[in-house]
Amino acid sequence: MTTLPRVSSDILWHHASVTRHRRELLNGHRGTILWFTGFSGAGKSTLAHAVEEVLHQSGYRTFVLDGDNVRHGLCNDLGFSPENRIENIRRVGEVAKLFMEAGIIVLTAFISPFRVERERVRNLVEQGDFIEIYCDSPIEICESRDVKGLYKKARAGQIAEFTGISSPYEAPENPELTVNTSTTDLNTSVQQVINELKSKGIIKND
């Protein structure tokens, strides 16, 4: 387990006059974190961006944090060892929390293979602010898609610590929503996520 450095006693939290509640009133909806998790190739990014498109067209303020995109900038100094994966998710969780406190619906698409790290992000925020969405697809289906050729490289030993091949994936035990992305079409999957948001009062019912 990675031990995080202690915050210096010289650093104090500054309480802003513009609160999360005021930002949400301005936006017209609650901020929340939608955390899409699953194997590489399970459709996390595809589903997250499709959900964002629907929300955006309905006037909601959104942003997608995508695993590949984040590793081009915020986390471009990290590899794929278990320790680096943990730090990657820690950073993403903190950024997602900031977006949420800005009153934005932030959608994150990360393999995030370890339960304890996903729970750590959940525990950063209040109950109900973190919605875990498990993109459930057998690894055989994910590998058959393999649009990036990553599984092929992993099986050839060209990629170390690859989730599902040489590194474990711990599926969620009690996600808020499970979407079977191997058998459910994209439009139906999007509607399942939208319905979950409506049931929790994040967005309005039609």
Catalytic pick among 40, 45, 112, 137 = 112
HEC secondary structure over the chain = CCCCCCCCCCCCCCCCCCCHHHHHHHHCCCCEEEEEECCCCCCHHHHHHHHHHHHHHCCCCEEEEEHHHHCCCCCCCCCCCHHHHHHHHHHHHHHHHHHHHCCCEEEEECCCCCHHHHHHHHCCCCCCCEEEEEEECCHHHHHHHCCCCHHHHHHCCCCCCCECCCECCCCCCCCCEEEECCCCCHHHHHHHHHHHHHHCCCCCCC
Q: Is residue 167 among the annotated active site residues?
A: no
Catalytic residue positions, numbered: 112
